[in-house]
Amino acid sequence: MPRVPVRIPKLSIATHEATLVEWFIPEGQQVTEGEALYLVETEKVETEIDSPTTGIIHWTAELGGTHEVGTEIGYIDHVD
């Protein structure tokens, strides 16, 4: 099963980091491509981030942590 990384996205030109606020899908649960996966907060906005693929989610970062754009915060074991 290929692993698809879940990363902090670049939400705007000025965004350099974001704080993890909430997981919508718990560790080890099935997620569907396009489904809301987690919530991040920047200085200006809270944003829901959608899943890039369908599979089983594995979180590797802690809620409440602030991470730079591009940081891997989890991965999805992709399933067809």
CATH number at 10 reads 2.40.50.100
Span 2-18, average pLDDT: 92
pTM reported for the whole predicted model = 0.90
Average pLDDT, the chain: 94
- Residue 1's pLDDT band (boundaries 50, 70, 90)? low
pLDDT at 14 over 80: yes
Which residue range forms the structural domain that includes residue 37? Answer: 3-78
Q: Tally the domains of the chain.
A: 1
How high is the pLDDT of residue 13?
87
Residue 78 C-alpha from the chain's centroid: 15
**How many angstroms separate the CA atoms of 6 and 75, rounded?**
5
pLDDT tens by residue, 16-53: 999 999 999 999 999 999 999 999 999 888 999 999 99
CB 22 within 8 A of CB 16: no
